[in-house]
Each structure stands twice: as structure tokens, then as C-alpha cells.
Structure 1
């Protein structure tokens, strides 16, 4: 009886072991080597990754996870919205039918993981100088690249494309000899192995205020010009007052005679002889005698012609 009971116990133990082994072997392996580089999340699939899809989530808060990808590719490219995922974490899960794997977490997304990383600048403007501070968004980029990453500060006049570079020996720069009253813009970019890296910082534009000396000179010049203008105006008014009658005479318009009056009074009249009654009778008598003489001459000519015939 004891031997029979031992065999039954051994059979039950084997059955339980096989059940557990089969159950364990049916669980999917999670993705491996989940990492973020240049705004791209990548991972390696499990050994038996046939017909496996992957689910990617990111957290907005500690316990709030949202889906961002569901597919068969082993990467998730978020370059179009890289800044939206800064400071978050990703987790990836394998899925096949009703089987799911455990979640595999990524590291916290920081500046070194993005292609849009930009330095942070702060500015303080004084009367004769500008203080510029530069710092990293987080220490990840400096930890990853070490001494190969550096700042490249730039400044230029507003509405000018001539950008000037500054030698950044520290994270605090003092920029002097800027023109007062002019607006200058400042910006900082990363240099990785002496080549631009990531995105430049935000652009800050400030007007350089005048110094106290320049302000005093401007006030004095303005006062001198005001006094000179008042003196010139006073001289003009005095001259007008003393020569009022002469100026009035000069400003009066000349007396012009209308054209039709001038033509009437100053043009020459036609010379016609005055007709008298006696003379008219003499002239008419002379004209009658002249007509009679012409008629007699014509008759004489006709008679001579008849004789000849």
C-alpha cells in the first residue's frame, strides 16, 4: 500500500510540473534593449518573434499611460514631435493573439536622446554692457559627449544678417562696446566636434540703453539747438517788425491794366479821310465824265472798223 501511494504522489508532482512548464513556455518574452537615440525609440524582439506585434506607450504622469504605436516594426520615430516627449518614459510590450508579454521600460527621455536639443540662455542688459549666461537643459548631453560638446554664442544687430561669434571660455560672458540706442539680438547654439548640433536657443533682442554721459550730452545739444532756434525766430520777428511797411509794399501785387483796356487805349486807330458834301459831288461828276469818254471811244472804234470793211 505504501508503494502504491508513493507512485500516486510522484505522478501528481510530475503532472503539476508539466502544467507549470507548459504555462510558462506559452508566455511571450518582452522586447529587449529598449532605447531612444536621435528621437527614435528602438527595441529588439524576442527570439521567437513570428506574428508578433508591439504596443508602445508613454506616460504623461506617473500612472497615466497612453498608446502612441501599435505595429510590427521594431521602432517608433517621433522626430516630428520630439519636444512633446521630452521628460517622459516609453514602455514596449510584445503581443501575439491573446498572449502578451511584460512591459519593458525605457530611460527617461532627456536632451541627449533628442535631435532638437537646444541650450538655454539668460540675458541682462546694462548701460554699457550685456551679461549672457548659457546652460544645458539637463546634464545628459554633457555626460554623453563630454568635452566634445560646447557653446557657440552669437550676436548681431537687429535686421542684419552679419552674425558675430564670441569665444565661450565659460558659461558667463560679458559683451562690451555695443552701440547705445541700437537693438541687438543674442542666440547660442551647440557645437559637437566643431559642427552645429541640435537646435539653436531662443532669440533674445534688447535695446542697449544710453550711458549717463551720453544722455547728458544729448540733453545739452538739445538745449543748445532749442536756444539757437529761438534766437533765429526772434531775429526774424524783429526784422519783420522794423521793416513792416517796406515788406508790405513788396508783397502787394502790381497794378495791371486788363488786356482789352490796354488794346483799346494804346492801339493805333485807322486813318480815313473825312468825307465832305462838296467833295462828294465833285467825285461823282468826275466819274460821270469818265464813263462818257469811255463810251465815245468805243463808238469811234466801231466806226473805223466799219469803214475798213
Structure 2
């Protein structure tokens, strides 16, 4: 009977180890690591670990071993790596039980984590990455980005290595895909990964709808703004329009009706050899 009881107790302890919830929302920002509680129980503690570029061994951050806090300053780990970048993870502990450790990610790009932005197109996802980073400037083509991708809810096992931005083709339309990115130096991971970002892959129909919406907006703008503006100009600004269309010089109004001077006519029709005669004004 005692043996059965011990077996049951051992089984419960093993089950507790498996089901001990790990910490969540583990983020690092400027060497400040934060996370949220694994469970509502107050006796859960946490241990922060780090791993440098040139080793596969995880070491404890001495200032954050079995702490009940949900934050840890990990600036001290910067000196432990040749490049000043380390990977971080946190595990929960309770009454001698240990949860699965969870790696930290960074929401903001810095010298240890890439800055990432996404654009989804029908059948593909473009991941925009900056080639102007400290890793690339120092190590050139030896420093790359490793882009992990997959459907939301799945383990992101597939990846593409790229120096700059990369486009991932052949994705299912209407499905939500997620990515995370990490620096790679000589094919070894460096620093924390970027936090997971997800986008829905639009379909061709969606793109047509977007084009139709944009066209409708343009038509509305033309009808509501341009046409009334043109009508206002033609109706109320006709005088200014005519003034602008007038020629630069003004022709006198009586230019064609003005008679020539009499001496002008005489000088043009008489000559010095001709005799002068009196003009007969009346005859009986």
C-alpha cells in the first residue's frame, strides 16, 4: 500500500513538472528584461540565463536567480560576449520543479536584434531588413539575417538567410503567416531574436477590391472638389479670365474710321510741275 502511495506521489510530481507553466511575454529592451507571471501562485520564482556567441552553454545571470521579480537588468552579460550580444531566456521554478525555459525577444531593433517590417502581397510576404547595421558594417557578408517563418500557431522551423530584405513566395492566400528574425555571424546565432510578427496573405480578389476602392475614392474627389472648383472659376472669374486672354497692346476704337489730313492727300497726289488751278465752286 505504501509503495502504491509513493508511486502516485511520484507520478503527481512528474506531472507537475510537465504542466508547470513557463513565464510569458519575455521581452528585452536596452538590457532590461521583463516577463509576466507563469501562474497566479505566489511562490513561483524565476531564473534568467544567458548564452554568448561562441558557446552552447547557458549560464545563470547571478543577479536574477530564483527571483520573485518579473524584471532583470542584464547589462552585466554584455561583457560576457565578444560582440556584446547574448541570447537570453527565463524559466519558472516552484518547490523544486522547473518549467521549460523560454527565450526572450526584442520588439525594437538595435545592435543585437534586427529591425523588421512586413508587407503582405497575394501569395507572398516581403520582410524588410536594414543592411545598414553595426553587424554588417563590421563583418560585411559574414553577418546575415536568418528569417524564420511559418503559419500562425505552428513552430517556425523554415527559414531563409539574407543580407538584406527577402521575399517569401508560395504562401497560401487567406492564411496568416508569422516571422521572427535573428542576426547570424559565421552561421551562428547572435543576440535575441525579433519578436514574432504576423500578417494575413491577401488574395487576388482582395487586391482587385482595393483597386476598386481607390478608384471610387478618386472619382468622388473629382466630382466633389474639382468640378465645383471649375464651375466657380467659369462663373465668377470670367472677367479675370478675359483680362488674362487679352493681347498685350490695345488697338484704338476709331483706327479704321479716322480720316487722313488734307495736306497729306495733296502732298501725295500733286507734283511740282503741275499747274495750280482755282477751284470752281459754282457755275451758272
Normalised by the length of structure 2, the TM-score is: 0.34
TM-score normalized by structure 1? Answer: 0.31
Q: Which has the higher helix share?
A: 1
